[in-house]
Amino acid sequence: MLGITGRDILKAAETAPSPAASDERRPLSDLATRIADEAVGPVYSPVVLSGLVRLVEFAAVLALGATIYLAWVFPTHGVQWPSLIGLCAVPGLTLAAFQAAGLYNIHVFRTHVAQFSRLFFAWTLVFLVAMAAAFFLKAGEELSRLWLGTWYGIGLVALTAGRVGLAQLVRTLSRAGRLQRRAVVVGGGEPAEELIRSILAQSESDVTICGTFDDRTDERSPAHAAHVPKLGTVDDLLEFARRTRVDLVIVTIPMTAEKRVLDMLRKLWVLPVDIRLAAHTAKLRFRPRAYSYIGNVPVLDVFDKPIQDWDIVLKWVFDKVVGTAALIALAPLFILTAIAVKLDSKGPVFFRQKRYGFNNEMIEVFKFRSMYTDMSDATASKLVSKGDPRVTRVGRFIRKTSIDELPQLFNVVFKGNLSLVGPRPHAAHAKAADKLYDDVVDGYFARHKVKPGITGWAQINGWRGETDTPEKIQRRVEHDLYYIENWSVLFDLYILAMTPISLAKHRENAF
Residue 49 and residue 253 in contact, taking contact as beta carbons nearer than 8 Å: no
pLDDT above 90 as % of the chain: 40
For the segment 242-263, what is each residue's pLDDT rounded down to a tens digit?
Answer: 899 999 999 988 766 777 788 8
Q: What is the DSSP letter of 374?
A: G
- pLDDT in the model for residue 468: 65
3-state helix, strand, coil split of the chain in percent (to 5) is: 55, 15, 35
Q: Tell me the backbone φ, ψ of residue 384, rounded to 5 degrees.
A: -75, 130
Asked whether the predicted pLDDT for residue 207 surpasses 70, the reply is yes
Please report the pLDDT score of residue 487 as a whole number: 93
Instruction: Inform me whether the pLDDT recorded for 22 exceeds 50.
Output: no
Q: Kindly list the domain boundaries of the chain, sorted by start residue.
A: 6-38+180-303, 46-175, 310-509
Question: Mean pLDDT lowest for which of 73-77, 120-124, 240-244, 376-380?
Answer: 376-380
Distance (Å, rounded) from C-alpha 331 to C-alpha 333? 5
Residue 150, number of CB atoms within 10 A of its CB: 18
Tell me: the pLDDT tens digits for 460-505? 888 776 666 778 888 888 999 999 999 999 999 999 999 988 887 7
CATH class of 6-38+180-303: alpha beta
Q: What is the mean pLDDT of residues 302-325?
A: 93
Is the Cβ–Cβ distance between 426 and 441 less than 8 Å? no
Please give the pLDDT value at position 472.
80
| φ/ψ of residue 276, rounded to 5 | -125, 145
Stretch (H or E) spanning 435: strand 435-436
Angle between helices 310-329 and 489-505 (to 10 degrees): 40
pLDDT score for 329: 95
Confidence at residue 381, expressed as pLDDT on a 0 to 100 scale: 61
How does pLDDT run across 168-181, given as a tens digit for each residue?
Answer: 999 899 888 888 89
pLDDT value, residue 217: 77
- pLDDT tens-digit series, residues 408-467: 999 999 999 999 999 998 877 776 666 677 767 777 888 889 999 999 999 888 877 666
Please give the C-alpha separations between residue 47 and each of 107, 306, 380, in angstroms, as whole numbers: 12, 15, 41
> How far apart are alpha carbons 431 and 154 in whole angstroms?
67
pLDDT of residue 290: 61
Identify the pLDDT of residue 138: 66
Q: pLDDT-based confidence at 382, cuts 50/70/90?
A: low
Most confident by average pLDDT, 11-25, 80-94, 98-112, 267-281: 98-112
H or E element, residue 114: helix 113-136
Per-residue model confidence (pLDDT) at position 53 = 96
Least trusted range by pLDDT, from 6-10, 80-84, 97-101, 332-336: 6-10
Looking at per-residue pLDDT, the higher value among 216 and 496 belongs to 496
| 317, 280 Cβ separation under 8 angstroms | no
* Highest-confidence segment of 213-222, 374-383, 500-509: 213-222
